Structure 1
Amino acid sequence: MSRYLEPFKRKVLDLLADGTPVKHVAEDLGISQQTIDNWREQSLVDRGELSGMTSTESAERASARRRIREREEEVRILVRARELVKEAPRLKGSTRPSR
């Protein structure tokens, strides 16, 4: 997740659109020129002026990857639980049928 909020990024891009040099914006706000260049490039992609993955697509992809990792962890937990149940000692007088 970005440490900068979208309204801040938009304000930076507005300053650039008004003609303020990247170097000045970076120095005044204490952020790197590379960060500003990345925001400007992503803005072009989002507006369809440059090819690439849009911010929305990127967020959806990250969300999907997160859900996949969560499901994989759930499967690992269930598999381990099943193994533990199989390994559990049989109690005398157990009502579970033998296999």
Structure 2
Amino acid sequence: MPKPYPREFRDDVVAVARQGQVPLKQVAEDFGISESCLANWMRAADVEAGKRPGVTTDGSAELRELRKRNRLLEQENEVLRKAAA
């Protein structure tokens, strides 16, 4: 899997693409990324801005952390159940 691009780079590319002066295909070629990659970045930017429904980066991180905590609590609960038996 290729190394992810820095956040600032993605934001800059999306900003250039949103200006609409150049077709998306040309913007993607100029920055050395695929057109589908640019489309995904634009979609993610819309979600982050609240223009499109979906899970934001912060929401995703929070959900991941809550699932991890839930797993730990379930493991502790299982240990206590076995100890009580």
Range class of TM-score, shorter chain: 0.5 to 0.7
SS of residue paired to 1:61 = helix
More helix by proportion, 1 or 2?
2
Q: Deviations over 1:10-60 (max 9, x none)?
A: 110111121122101111111111111111111111111111101211233
Percent of residue pairs bearing the same amino acid type = 35
Root-mean-square deviation over aligned CA pairs: 2.5
The residue correspondences of 1:1-99 to structure 2 (distance < 5 A) are 3-19=4-20, 20-64=22-66, 67=68
Count of paired positions:
72
Q: Which runs of 4+ in 1 moved over 4 A?
A: none
Gaps of 5+ in 2: 80-85
Paired with 1:35 and 1:5, the residues of 2 have a C-alpha distance of 14
**Structure with greater Cα Rg:** 1
